[in-house]
Chain A
Amino acid sequence: MTKMKLITITLAVALAMPIVAAAQTTASGTLTVNATVQSSISLVFNSDAAGVVLGGAGTNAATMNLGTISAYGPLSAGVGRSVTAGTSFTVTSPFDVQVDKSNITSSNYTLTAQLNAADATNTWAISGSGVTNASATTLTATGAYGSSTQYTLGLTVPLTSGAGAISNIVNFAATAN
Chain B
Amino acid sequence: MHGRIRSWLVVAVLAGLLPAAAQTTPPAGKAKQPIRGKASAAALWVNFVPVPKGAPVRSIAGQGTLDLGRISYTAGSTQDGVTITQGPRTFTVRTRFGLQVGSPDNVGTAKLLGVLNGINPAIRVTVDGVRLTPSPEVIQMALKFGAVSEHRLEIEVPVTMYEAAAQVVNAISFQVIAN
Contacts and interface: CB of A to CB of B under 8 A. Distances in A.
Given A15-B15, A25-B177, A103 B74 contact: no
B47 A25 contact: no
A36 B16 contact: no
Interface size grouping (class) on chain B: 35 or more
A102 B37 contact: no
Nearest to B108: A25
B175 A34 contact: no
A19 interface: yes
A37 B74 contact: no
Given A14-B15, A26-B44, A27-B45, A36 B71 contact: yes
A31 B64 contact: yes
Contacts of B74: 40-42, 102
A81 to B, nearest CB: 37
A39 B160 CA distance: 10
Nearest to B40: A26
Contacts of B91: 102
A86 interface: no
A171 B69 CA distance: 30
Interface in A10-46: 10-11, 14-15, 17-19, 21-42
A93 to B, nearest CB: 27
Interface in A91-122: 100-105
B70 to A, nearest CB: 5
Given A21-B20, A28-B174, A35 B41 contact: no
A163 interface: no
Contacts of B45: 27
A165 interface: no
Contact of B71 (A10, A21, A29, A37): A37
Interface in B89-121: 91, 93, 97, 99, 101, 103, 110, 117
A85 interface: no
B142 interface: no
Centre residue among A3, A10, A103, A104 by max chain B CB count within 10 A: A103
Interface in A26-72: 26-42
A134 interface: no
Given A40-B73, A103-B166, A28 B37 contact: yes
Given A27-B46, A28-B173, A33-B168, A18 B69 contact: no
B159 A30 contact: no
A25 B39 contact: yes
A32 B19 CA distance: 36
Q: Nearest 10 CB-CB pairs, A to B?
A: A102-B73, A29-B46, A27-B44, A35-B68, A18-B19, A29-B62, A102-B159, A27-B39, A35-B168, A37-B166
Interface of B: 1, 5, 8-9, 11-13, 15-16, 18-20, 23, 36-41, 43-48, 57, 59, 62-75, 91, 93, 97, 99, 101, 103, 110, 117, 125, 153, 155, 157, 159-163, 166-178
